[in-house]
Amino acid sequence: MAELRVNSTIASHLTEADIKSVLGICPFGAIEYNNGTLEINAACRMCRICVRSGPTGLFEFFQNDKKDDMSLSEWRGVAVYIDETKDGEPHPVSAELMGKALALTKAASCLASMSPRCAKS
């Protein structure tokens, strides 16, 4: 999985004007300045505009080349991505997404089995 990181060494040398400029780079508003720290938030779309347009070396792109143990062709489940709020709590919509995933899993299971009891529900 790819990841964007802020180089804290370079960030610590930025002036206030530099920081204001950097905050405007991302068209998705994914760059934040909180408590004296530059951060990339969940709005990041991995477009890498910050890497290309920001101060050299401030934003670093890392690609994890580790292969998953499971082939996607073998996947039969429903995956739900749960994001966190700034406080580290699950986003409020997470429970609704989990409920929808459960309904999709049940529907997919019925379709796969073609069970007569599925037609009743």
Q: Give the pLDDT band (50/70/90) at residue 33.
A: very high
Residue 27 pLDDT > 90, yes or no?
Answer: yes
Convert the pLDDT of each residue in 39-51 to its tens digit: 999 899 899 999 9
- Domain boundaries along the sequence of the chain: 2-63, 72-113
Task: Please report, as a single letter, which amino acid is at residue 59.
Answer: F
How far is it, in rounded angstroms, from Cα 1 to Cα 66? Answer: 8
The residue with greater pLDDT, 83 or 6, is 6
Residue 5 vs residues 44, 48, 63: alpha-carbon distances, Å: 11, 11, 11
Token output for 18: 């530099």
pLDDT (0 to 100) of residue 116: 65
How far is it, in rounded angstroms, from Cα 103 to Cα 121? Answer: 12
How far is it, in rounded angstroms, from Cα 119 to Cα 56? Answer: 60
Convert the pLDDT of each residue in 53-87 to its tens digit: 999 999 999 887 666 566 667 666 777 778 777 77
pLDDT (0 to 100) of residue 55: 94
Q: Chain-wide mean pLDDT for the chain?
A: 83
Task: Render 44-96 in DSSP notation, one character per residue.
Answer: -----HHHHHSSTTTEEEEE--PPPSS-GGG--S------B-TTSPBPTTHHH
Task: Please report, as a single letter, which amino acid is at residue 86.
Answer: K
CATH of the structural domain 2-63, one choice from 3.40.50, 1.20.140, 3.30.160, 3.30.70: 3.30.70
2 SS3 class: strand
